[in-house]
Amino acid sequence: MIIGVPKEIMPGERRVAASPETAAKMVKDGLTVLVEKDAG
């Protein structure tokens, strides 16, 4: 399964849907995680 983490489009918003720790856990569980450039 592929999980995508997009960057926010609202001005000044820096939050993302997954933290680095969460993304690492997903990868460890066999998922593919794609993070959009400049997200967060």
Q: Each residue of 3-37: pLDDT tens digit?
A: 999 988 999 888 898 999 999 999 999 999 999 99
Q: Is 40 inside a domain boundary?
A: no
Q: Tell me, what's the pLDDT at 24?
A: 97
Q: Is 13 inside a domain boundary?
A: yes
Domain extent at residue 21:
2-35
Q: Can you give the pTM of this predicted structure?
A: 0.75
Sorted by sequence, the CB contacts under 8 Å of residue 39 that are 6+ apart come out as 5, 6, 7, 8, 16
Q: Is 17 inside a domain boundary?
A: yes
Domain count, the chain: 1
